[in-house]
Structure 1
Amino acid sequence: MTLTDVAPNPRPERSIDIYRRALSWLEAQLPHGWTVSADRPRSPAAPNRLLITAPDGESVSYAITASKGVLSGDVARIAAELSDSDRGFVCAHYLSEPVRRQLDGHGLSYADATGNLNLVADRPAIWVRNRGADADPWRGPGRPSGVLTGEPSERVVRALADHVGEISVPELIKLSGASTGAAYRVVEVLFERELLTRLPRGPITDVRWPHMLRAWAADRKPCATRSFAAPNGLDELRARLASGNGDPAYAVTGIGATDYASASVLELYADDVDAFAAALDLRPITGGADVVVATPWSAAVFERMQYRDGLRCVAPSHAYADLVAGPFRHPDAAEYQLTALTADESWRRPVGRGR
């Protein structure tokens, strides 16, 4: 049985309770003969210093940082606040795997209330490590789930991928059309997964957009699709769509939205699948379809579209994500698209040019 199989105790909220829960894991893992002590500030504050003493009496001291939540961007600040000769011990109710990697990289010891633990010192020589939960067992409704699903994720991810330049979260909210709370939650997930760089309480300065799009594509739920036959063939259908005679809103995706190859099946999104099929005389079919129409999760698929041979197509970023995963998956075309998009990023708009 792993720690994540066990129902958690109530989430510690006060600094002193966070510290005590983390300390209980440390005490349980320390070798025989080693002891722990700390100063005694007035509760509910956590102690300021932690002292680890070896059986021979030699000891090492750590400055304690107790926090409900620690993000990757907080780690450099915590490390910078220590003097060159001091050691840090960070404790929190839960420390995510990216945060733990950051703490390890800065040489900071830590423990959380689920049992994730790493304590290191040269003199006296000690290394204590333990693995706790891989996910926050106290994550409540409305908190980031760590996955990129739903309309807010689609809007925020697309806005970040389609634009280049430093951007504040309020600017991102306006650009993406996502609600304030949802946008902040998605940014937190992206930050925790190290898919973007953000200054502490400041703007987003860099986005790892290929990795972000791939992560989003893998996390999101596949759209529902329906298959049709074009009675007069794809060439006639494409010509009708390109004429723009008031057809219902659509956006071509998949291979048809790239330069990879000529598409033998027209894959697209339609705002109203029934109306789209009726307007273009498409026949429902169960096998051998030459048209596949998906119902989009959000109107983001129709934003920042590109035109190819007169057809309205999803943005290059969305085409890439669709080729990575879901009903329009095509790994070879996805890698071709990624190579093209990274070689020439002119498709990414400077922040400030609007939606």
Structure 2
Amino acid sequence: MEVTGPRPERHIDIYRRAVASLEACLPLGWSVTSDRARSPEAPKRILVTAPDGDSVSYAVITSRGVLSGDVARISADLTESDRGFVCAHYLSDPVRRQLDQHGISYADATGNLTLVAARPAIWVRNRGADADPWRGPGRPSGVLTGEPSERVVRALADHVGDISVPELIKLSGASTGATYRVVEVLAERELIRRIPRGPVTSVQWEPMLRGWSADRKPCATRSFAAPDGLDAVRAQLAERVDPGYAVTGVGATDYAATDVLEVYADDPDEFAAALGLRPVDRAADVVVAIPWTPVVFDRMERREGLRFVAPAHVYADLLAGPFRNADAADHLRSRMEADESWWRRPLGRGL
């Protein structure tokens, strides 16, 4: 399908292009109607009606950018009996496959389309562009990987308040070009709001952390036994002066007591030797991850003499990777939502 014209940006324009693709592919006698929306927002629902009058309703999810890491969240936001219809300016092949696996219908502005329902029985599919026709050379990939993404995401999650990009560069420690690229990705995925050529005014920290955790590459881990028990390990860690470790995982939350200590350390062998730990293949007392970047040690918390990864990073670790635990992640998210002042710092002017 040849795509012409500018990329649709407003939600209503993205929706109109998607529905136009759908209507062009529906069998004769089928129709699409929707509730009325106030521009520039898109309708909340569409109704697809068969020639005999039987119909099926879909919740409309409109977004400028959807990545594989976003699909699970979209699916979780739908009720068990509801159907979703995702509209975007472009949906990549991996994202389309993820949506198919979750039974979510979709259409993008290039003509990629799938609509499914059991009653009335319908299956409509169309092939559009294989690459984003509006993404020019040098544009960001849309994936939150690498140290700049970690630095920018953590800086935005850990702080609250309007922040300009130059201030964000200083706060995060990422390079100028990389910060602007990450900010563009976050804005395109609607994880932040930014005034054109102005500051970031709003951060959707939970979906941002969820998207980052899904995109980043898991760290390698080493497993160790503690011959003298975890209490002895914790006592030794509390006496350490150097910040060469940070506790994460379930043990960094108040969700439940745990019999495995999960930590980050730059040099697992040196860390283990200092604590008298012994390498094992299974039944570990201590699991040590080698961080990809030093961001894990930014803005650590200290409790009972131990150093803990910042709550935003702990939450991302519980969502995906070697320290994942869905129940603990839900518990921590509830705490973070209930009192953001507990873990998000206000931004001062003298950054």
Q: Does residue 315 of structure 1 match 2:315?
A: no
Q: Which residue of 1 aligns with 2:281?
A: 286
SS at 1:267 equivalent: strand
Residues 304 and 141 (structure 1), Cα distance of their counterparts in 2 relative to 1, 3 Å cut:
farther
> CA shift at 1:137, angstroms?
6.0
Q: Which residue of 1 aligns with 2:250?
A: 255
Residues 262 and 72 (structure 1), Cα distance of their counterparts in 2 relative to 1, 3 Å cut:
farther
Q: Does residue 237 of structure 1 match 2:233?
A: yes
Q: Give the gaps of 5 or more residues in structure 2.
A: 15-38, 41-61, 66-86, 90-107, 114-125
Q: Does residue 264 of structure 1 match 2:251?
A: no
Residues 71 and 302 (structure 1), Cα distance of their counterparts in 2 relative to 1, 3 Å cut:
farther
Residues 192 and 273 (structure 1), Cα distance of their counterparts in 2 relative to 1, 3 Å cut:
same
Report Cα offsets for 1:311-346 as digits up to 9, x if no partner. Answer: 100001001110111000000000000000110111
Q: Which residue of 1 aligns with 2:320?
A: 325
Q: Does residue 214 of structure 1 match 2:243?
A: no
Q: Does residue 171 of structure 1 match 2:136?
A: no
> Partners of 1:133 and 1:329 in 2: how far apart?
35
Q: Which residue of 2 aligns with 1:121?
A: none
Write the letter of the residue equivalent to 2:63: P
> Partners of 1:227 and 1:303 in 2: how far apart?
24
Is contact 1:99-1:192 (8 Å) kept? yes
Q: Does residue 188 of structure 1 match 2:184?
A: yes
Report Cα offsets for 1:241-280 as digits up to 9, x if no partner. Answer: 011254x600000011111111210000002222111111
Q: Which residue of 1 aligns with 2:220?
A: 224
Residues 142 and 272 (structure 1), Cα distance of their counterparts in 2 relative to 1, 3 Å cut:
farther
Residues 102 and 220 (structure 1), Cα distance of their counterparts in 2 relative to 1, 3 Å cut:
closer
Report Cα offsets for 1:177-213 as digits up to 9, x if no partner. Answer: 1111111111111111111111111111100001110
Q: Does residue 99 of structure 1 match 2:61?
A: no
Residues 265 and 170 (structure 1), Cα distance of their counterparts in 2 relative to 1, 3 Å cut:
same
SS at 2:63 equivalent: helix
> CA shift at 1:353, angstroms?
7.6
- Find the structure with the greater CA-based Rg: 1
Q: Which residue of 2 aligns with 1:351?
A: 347
> CA shift at 1:284, angstroms?
0.6
Residues 71 and 306 (structure 1), Cα distance of their counterparts in 2 relative to 1, 3 Å cut:
farther
Q: Does residue 306 of structure 1 match 2:301?
A: yes
Residues 351 and 231 (structure 1), Cα distance of their counterparts in 2 relative to 1, 3 Å cut:
same
> Partners of 1:102 and 1:198 in 2: how far apart?
20
> CA shift at 1:135, angstroms?
4.6
> Partners of 2:139 and 2:290 in 1: how far apart?
27
Q: Does residue 205 of structure 1 match 2:201?
A: yes
Q: Which residue of 1 aligns with 2:77?
A: none
> CA shift at 1:150, angstroms?
1.1
> Partners of 2:256 and 2:185 in 1: how far apart?
35
Q: Does residue 158 of structure 1 match 2:159?
A: no
> Partners of 1:316 and 1:199 in 2: how far apart?
28
Is contact 2:154-2:312 (8 Å) kept? yes
TM-score normalised according to structure 1 size: 0.65
Write the letter of the residue equivalent to 1:206: S
Q: Which residue of 1 aligns with 2:57?
A: none
Q: Does residue 336 of structure 1 match 2:331?
A: yes
Residues 354 and 341 (structure 1), Cα distance of their counterparts in 2 relative to 1, 3 Å cut:
farther
Report Cα offsets for 1:107-149 as digits up to 9, x if no partner. Answer: xxxx97x5579xxxxxxxxxxxx86337526857753211111
The number of equivalent residue pairs is 255
> Partners of 2:185 and 2:333 in 1: how far apart?
23
Percent of aligned positions with the same letter in both sequences?
Answer: 68
Residues 301 and 72 (structure 1), Cα distance of their counterparts in 2 relative to 1, 3 Å cut:
farther
SS at 2:129 equivalent: coil
Q: Give the gaps of 5 or more residues in structure 1.
A: 4-20, 24-65, 77-86, 89-96, 104-110, 118-129
**Structure 1 stretch 261-270 or stretch 273-282: which is displaced more?**
273-282
Report Cα offsets for 1:59-111 as digits up to 9, x if no partner. Answer: xxxxxxx55x66569x89xxxxxxxxxx99xxxxxxxx7339588xxxxxxx9
Q: CA RMSD in A?
A: 3.2
Residues 234 and 72 (structure 1), Cα distance of their counterparts in 2 relative to 1, 3 Å cut:
farther
